[in-house]
Structure 1
Amino acid sequence: MPRGVERGAWTMVAILTAAYTVSFIDRQVLNLLVEPLKLSFDLSDTRLSLLQGLAFTGAYVLFSPVFGRLTDTGNRRNLVALGIVLWSVGTAFCGLARSYWQLFAGRFTVGGAEASLTPAAWSMIMDRFPPEATPRALSVYLMGPYLGGGLALIFGGLILDLAAGSDIGAFEPWQIVFLAAAVPGFVLAAICIAFVKEPERRMLAGETAGETMSLAEVRKRFSDERAFYLNFYLGMTGIIFVLYAYPSWMPALLMRKFEVAASTVGLHYGVLVLLGGSLGVLTGPWVARLIKKRGRRDALMVVPVFVAGTLVLLSGLLALANSYVAVLAIAGAASFVYSLPMALASSALQLVTPNRMRGMSSAVYVFIVSVIGLGAAPTIVALITDFVLQDESKVGLSVAIACGLSSLLAVFFLRRALAAYDDMLGRGFGSA
């Protein structure tokens, strides 16, 4: 395989990034609709958080191993296109929902289908780029959550306002937002089939092209290198908990505490998520290169440790913030900080993992961070608000408590993962 970047590789990354962006629009547009949905279905914060977390994550977790295995054994391009169509159907169904449980079913469909994307995309990128170029390629792909999260808030708020002022018949404004969010996915699936080709698989030293790694071999590899894998997964989960807790409850916090309109919050916070998150994920590889130039071969894992400590500090500041501008500033800073290590951690995981189990390693990553991060984050914050503080206006303090504790745990586990990663590099892993 040539060491340079293959022709069409960046086109593939652009399309995969668009898919990731659309997936996060469909995933996170619900966060802006917290108050309208509470009114329509008479929901508590806890019941609504189940739509944000459990409904989506239950399916995401259930189907992640399935799609991870299909990534390692099948055509990844076709898997991505199928997933895009299915999650778009699920989003449209959310817009047609007439009951809480229909909305729950729509979110379940979105979650299950979106589990197809990350294992396939990471594997494809690793095979189209040389190892030294993968952090940059992954950083572009990993802009998707911040582009999608920001656009969901910005355009979701605008569409919500337009729908509220228009005659839309039997539909409520929040339903129009879901239906509008579903449309881009169908177009993107066709673009994926037309312009993305299935990459040739690139093997690590000792691997044979065309072979399939048995599940027993995959389990043994995880067990033999558990000092890295276990601590990596748990540590990154602590950071991803923050990544989901902020967008899930920041719009509600700003609207409740400062009585700001949804469209205004969507614009202000949406811009911060889009710019802060995108800048952070693109800056991460540059920071890692600076660290590597100082002789740290484990630079890809140094940044996550630093980020976890910084998030502890930001959680403390959020607990003390009492103005709209201050809360927005902290939220924007958090968006930048928690996005910094995402491409680096993904690259580190993939670089020390054999090609024939990269899909499974990604799927396990998605599984664990989804259960604790995506699944638990919205509900843990809601439980603190409803049952500990017993005051929905104190949701900001709930976010600060939950994120502060998760970040402290991330520091502990990521320091252990850093040591194990350095040991693996010393034994020749990731050198292919």
Structure 2
Amino acid sequence: MAEVAAAMRKCEVEAELEERGAENMALLDNSTKNTPLPSDDVEKGADPQEQDLLPRTGISHTCAIIILVILFYINLVTYMATSIGAAILPYLQASFKIDESGIGLISIVFTGSYVLFTLVYGFLGDCCSRKCIMCVGMAIWSVTEFCSSFTPDENFTQFLIIKGLTGAAAASYSTLAPSIIADLFVGDKRSRMLYIYNLAVPVGSGLGYIIGSTVTSALGGNWHWTVRICPALGILGVLLMIFLVKEPSRGPAEGNNSKSFSLRRWFSDVKLISKNRSFMFSTLGTTALNFTAGAIDICVPELLLRARKILQETAPCQTDVCNYHDSMIFGIVTVVAGIIGIVAGVEIAKRYKKYNPRADPLVCGFSLLGSAIFLFLAFYLANISLVATYVLIFIGEILLMTNFSISADICLYVVSPARTTTAQAMFMILSNLLGDAISPLIIGGISNLTNRQNPDSARLSFHSLQYALLACPFVVTLGGACFLLASFYIEKDCEKAEMEDEDCVLEEVIVTSP
């Protein structure tokens, strides 16, 4: 009798599971169809996931837009600070008595600490309040950035230590802010909001060059007061976050809840992501992009300054630092090229994807290959025509910025949503640590090696930096090839990510079913 009862109980359980499976499949089907909504005021044809986002996040669409604007503002301020530092490099060299290698050392200390602390904030962001982490991090960033302006002349070591602390604090915001935006929006709207957020990169960088050049010149070369502008704006951003930013729950836009952290699971995720060929090739392509962008931001204004001296378009100056407003012109070029590049890249890829699912890596690959040509010509002609050089740099930067938002998006959607946090951390570490962290140091080192014979020669000084920068088009070409290789695997990897996502959603629905 016991065996019969057990058999009957087994049949009942199987029937119940089968019934639940049918209900769960119906739930999954309804998530992609026009199901009835809580409100009758919703527009027809709207995305059901977007319509149901308010009850999931507890944040209205208007409030979400306000949060996006605040996060955009803070991102703008942080990139302004970085570019102000690049714009005043001649003044820093005069104060601290350093050459191109010293400038590269500033970059690698800042970016190195930034990348290393990305892992720390990525872990804390999974188990603590992201808003609190960002507020504390931005407050520390503002204080350390402000303190760097009080560094005594010729005390370069102290300046490096403060820059390292600044990079560590800045990582808190840049690591966690995109995840908050991802939790506020869904589908195509999320992609649009993320690329709006990323517009702060070229706009902030360009404004930093303009402010750094004009304000420092107006103050007679006093770079200390120029550096103090962004910390004040950063404190304002902290206050805005405290009073106006409401943190959404983790993963509500996708209907997933955060899971407890497991070190064993994390290592397993890293191993699986490392085997994702489209992710790895896209990350390597972005690394080449960041390498070139970092070298351009730091070294190209100085190259233009040295080219102007050779062309003798202005009378030689008699001060320690010669300012011919090239940083301001370069800043304007960067702003315009960045906006055009990011917007054009997203729109071209979006339209091309209707005909070719491999559109994203193909657009990135071919735009990088085109950028390599224009950057090579820009650096090669720098001592022949400054006008032609600016035009070529403008076109080259447009093609570079075309990749910026697309490449970051690729490295998220080719992996399962359950692994996006780990994938984002790996993406940032590889692309920054091997990219813009070391490029100024490498370019500056090559320039110094070729300029040892006669460092006082203006022509030799120009050509040494010119030859060093010619390595960038070669690196960009390798990056373009990596994106083209990624295009061969992206469809298969996307299918795997979608299958894993469906399995995770079905598992969660089964577990939470009454």
Structure 1 CA distance for aligned equivalents of residues 416 and 131 of structure 2: 20
Q: Which residue of 1 aligns with 2:91?
A: 36
Moved more, 302-311 or 411-420: 411-420
- 1:73 corresponds in structure 2 to 127
Aligned to 2:231: 182
CA distance in 2, matches of 1:262, 1:83: 34
> % of aligned pairs identical?
20
Which of 406, 414, 426 is the matching residue for 1:364? Answer: 426
CA contact (8 A) 1:298 1:421 kept: yes
Q: How does 1:193-204 map to 2 (within 5 A)?
A: 193-202=242-251
Distance 2:362 2:65 in 1: 27
For the Cα contact (< 8 Å) 2:364–2:407, is it kept in 1?
yes
Give yes or no for contact 2:186–2:253 (8 Å, CA) kept in 1.
no
User: Using CA pairs below 8 Å that are at least 6 residues apart, which structure has the higher relative contact order?
Assistant: 1
Which residue in the other structure is 1:143 paired with?
199
Query: Per the alignment, do residues 109 and 125 of structure 1 end up closer, same or farther by CA in structure 2, a change over 3 Å counting?
Result: same
| Partner in structure 2 of residue 412 of structure 1 | 481
Q: What is residue 266 of structure 2 aligned with on the other side?
A: 218
CA-CA distance at 1:9 after TM superposition: 2.3
Does residue 292 of structure 1 match 2:346? no
Matched-pair contact (CA < 8 Å) for 1:96–1:175: yes
Equivalent position SS for 2:249: coil
Deviations 1:201-226 (A, max 9, x none): 22698x95131242332332332242
Distance 1:359 1:93, change over 3 A: farther
**373-382 vs 1-10, greater mean Cα deviation:** 1-10
CA RMSD of aligned residues (A): 2.3
* Residue of structure 1 in register with 2:218 after alignment: 162
Matched with 1:63 is: 117
Within the candidate set 228, 236, 241, 1:192 is matched to 241
SS of 1:3's partner is: helix
Q: Residues 380-431 of structure 1: CA distance to partner in whole angstroms, max 9, x if unpaired?
A: 1111211146543125524542211211221232223222322122335297
Among residues 63, 70, 80, which one is paired with 1:15 in the alignment? 70
Aligned length: 422
Give the secondary-structure state (helix, strand or coil) at the position aligned to 1:429.
Answer: helix
Describe the superposition over 1:286-342 as per-residue Cα deviations: whole angstroms up to 9, x where unpaired. Answer: 111111122x22333322212221122123212321211122122222222211122
Unaligned runs of at least 5 residues, structure 1: 165-171
User: Is residue 116 of structure 1 aligned with residue 176 of structure 2?
Assistant: no
- Take 1:94 and 1:35, find their aligned partners in 2: how far apart are those partners? 16
One-letter identity of the residue aligned with 2:487: L
Contact 1:12 1:195 in 2 (8 A): yes
> Whose radius of gyration is greater, 1 or 2?
2
Report the TM-score, using the length of structure 2 for normalisation: 0.77
Distance 1:9 1:399 in 2: 45
Change (3 A) 1:341 1:297: same
1:3 maps to 50
| Structure 2 SS opposite 1:409 | helix
Does 1:173 pair with 2:222?
yes
Q: Cα distance 1:35–1:333, how it changes in 2: closer, same or farther (>3 A)? A: same
Equivalent in the alignment of 1:104: 160
User: Structure 1 residue 58: deviation in Å?
Assistant: 2.2
- Gaps (5+ residues) in structure 2? 1-47, 54-59, 315-321, 453-459, 503-514
Aligned partner of 1:306 in structure 2 is: 366
Letter in 2 for 1:50: L
What TM-score results when the alignment is normalised by the length of structure 1?
A: 0.91
Equivalent residue runs for 1:208-247 within 5 Å: 209-225=257-273, 226=275, 227-247=277-297
* Distance in 1 between residues matched to 2:87 and 2:256, nearest whole Å: 48
**Residue 356 of structure 1, CA deviation:** 4.6
Measured in 2, the distance between the counterparts of 1:67 and 1:183 equals 24
CA distance in 1, matches of 2:50, 2:297: 39
Q: 1:135 to 1:262 in 2, by over 3 A?
A: farther
Partner residue in 1 for 2:408: 346
Counterpart of 1:169 in structure 2 is none
The question of whether the paired residues in 2 share the 8 Å contact of 1:381 and 1:398 is answered with no
